[in-house]
Amino acid sequence: LPGRPESLHVCGGGARNDWLMQRIGQHLPSLSVTDTSSLGLDPQWVEAAAFAWLARQNLLGLPGNLPSVTRARSAAVLGSREIAGEKTSIVC
């Protein structure tokens, strides 16, 4: 990161987990830890948008990871698609 963050905004189901939020705050005492509703974004919507983007990347055959962030060896198409009514699946 180019600078030291001042806050952490949590989204998804974890944002509703009081124990998890407290533990994050304990481990990152210098940060303001809150959920994304403090930014005007419903935590569930943020998670849904992330999954939609990952699905889009998969359908287009595009990478869903950033090796510079994940430390993966290379960019990769993530996930698998299960086609309703078919006995086979496409694993990417």
Is residue 92 scored above 90 in pLDDT? no
pLDDT at 87: 67
3-state secondary structure of 62: coil
CA atoms within 13 A on the CB side of 19: 0
Bigger pLDDT: 1 vs 74: 74
Token pair, residue 24, equals 């994050």
* Residue-wise pLDDT tens digits, 13-64: 999 999 999 999 999 999 999 999 999 999 999 999 999 999 999 999 999 9
